[in-house]
Structure formats: structure tokens, C-alpha cells
Amino acid sequence: MIEIIPAIDLIEGKCVRLTRGDFEQVRVYNESPIDVAKSFEDAGCRHLHIVDLDGAKSQHIVNYKVLEEVASKTELKIDFGGGLKSDDDVRIAFECGAEKITGGSIAVKSPTTFERWLEKYGSRRVILGADTRDGKILTDGWQKGSNESIIPYIEEYVQKGITQIISTDVKCDGTLTGPSIDLYKLILDKFPRLYVIASGGVGRIADIAELEKAGVPAVIVGKAIYENCITLKDLERINTTGTCLQNE
């Protein structure tokens, strides 16, 4: 059964969503991340993906107090990313309750730093962020491109010990028009032992079922939940039955 991991993206401590990573297209959905996190926990979710969008823009961790509150008041296992650029940033994230951290831009711009985190904390706690547009890896909260092509980029880090990645096709993110199935099939074909977490584009339960059929072990879902395309009752039913049921 594919695992559904709900997402909370943070700006100024509020739950927001962007469209295709565009900071000019921000919508605030809830001003209380802890209430949102508890609703996910009540629906049977075990993991939570938190992205510090302020941190991504500021180049250092910002919303660590929200992380600390969610970690201390729920049993959710949190993956935290956004703005992690230094050893201190990562230390703060773990001290505030993150079970795992995701490194995206840092893995491109300062691979020695990212590799140091991987060596210190291990592949169970460090996830590679491999977000892409047109096959190229993006950095700086998706605001900048790079010369890195996604498959060789992932291969390099698999050789260095990475076992988990989160990959977003930014063209799909926030659109609710469906995930980039072909992207995940390509990654899994090249790296069948890699734990691939899909992200971006999910707009209905059928999208999740399609990812499961493609062999994707986990998917991050954000806007579809906030827009009630996938309801909390849907999440509870799926988490209880282990089956991707269609919307009623």
C-alpha cells in the first residue's frame, strides 16, 4: 500500500500552498499548523512533510518553533525541509523534533556539506530533495535552475549512500492535474531499491492509485487535501482499509 504523507508548507507560521513554486501565487489555508497536523493524525496519518518556505527564501531555518510545537503535541514523524543550509540549521531541526530532514539546494550547491550530514546522521534520517523542471534539478525554493540532470544527479548520491528521495515535478505542483507518473517510472526503473516519495500534482485519489500501480512507495499530498479534493475522511478510510478507494 502506498503511504500518503500530508504536507504543511509554512510562510509566517501559517499553512499555505504555492502554485508551481511561485511565491507570487500564495494562498493561506489555515493560520494554525498544529490544528492541521492534529487533523492529519486523527485521520490515521503517521508521517508529515513540513516545508519552511520562509527558510527556503532566507537561506536558513525560520519556522522551527512551528516544527517544535507539532513534534511535541503530536506523534507524527516529521520530515522537515526548506532553508537547511548549515550544520546549525540541521541541528536545530533535529532538536526541535524532526525525525528526518530533506536537503535540496544544499546538495547541489554544497555537496560536501550535504555529504557530511549524510555521514553524521545516516541515510535513514537524511533525504535527498530532487525537484525538477524539464529534467533539470532546481534550487533556492525552485526559483533557480541548475545544470544537473535528474538521473545522473540521483545516481551520484545513490552511490554516496542515499536511500530516500523526494522528487517534485514543479510543472505539476499545486495544479491538481495529476502527478508526473513517467518521471517516477523512470527513476524507479533506474533505481529500483530507492525509496521514492512522489510530490506534486495529485488532485484525486485515482492519482494516488496510479502512483501505487507504478510502484511508488509514498506520495506527499498537500493542496488536494486543503481544497477538499481528497478529504480527511478519505484519508481515514484509506489509512484504515489500506486501499485507495475512489471518491464517492
Residues 72-113 pLDDT 10s: 999 999 999 999 999 999 999 999 999 999 999 899 999 999
Q: Within a domain: residue 187?
A: yes
pLDDT reported for residue 229 = 96
- Give catalytic residues, as residue numbers: 9, 131
Answering whether pTM is above 0.85, one says yes
41 within a domain of the structure (yes/no): yes
Domain count across the chain = 1
The verdict on residue 192 lying in a domain is yes
Q: What is the pLDDT of residue 247?
A: 43
Q: What is the pLDDT of residue 159?
A: 97
pLDDT digit string, tens, across residues 179-220: 999 999 999 999 999 999 999 999 999 999 999 999 999 999
The pLDDT tens digits of the residues spanning 18-32 come to 776 677 778 999 999
DSSP 162-200: --EEEEEBTTTTTS-S---HHHHHHHHHH-TTSEEEEES
Q: Using 50, 70 and 90 to split pLDDT, how confident is the model at 141?
A: low
* Domain extent at residue 126: 3-241
pLDDT at 248: 41
Is 248 part of any domain? no
CA separation for the pair 4, 46 (Å, rounded): 9
Does 246 reside within a domain?
no
- Does position 246 have pLDDT exceeding 60, yes or no? no
Cβ atoms of 55 and 90 within 8 Å: the answer is no
Confidence of residue 139 (pLDDT cuts 50, 70, 90): confident
Mean pLDDT of the chain: 93
Q: What is the pLDDT of residue 21?
A: 67
pLDDT beyond 70 at 162: yes
195 part of a folded domain: yes
Length of the chain: 248
**Residue 247 resides in a domain:** no
Nearest residue to 161 via CA among 118, 196, 100, 121:
118
Q: What's the pLDDT at 17? A: 83
CATH number of the domain residue 80 falls in = 3.20.20.70
The yes-or-no verdict on residue 238 having pLDDT over 80 is yes
Confidence at 142, pLDDT banded by 50, 70, 90 = low
Residue 104 covered by a domain: yes
pLDDT in the model for residue 3:
97
Confidence band (pLDDT; 50, 70, 90) for 147?
confident
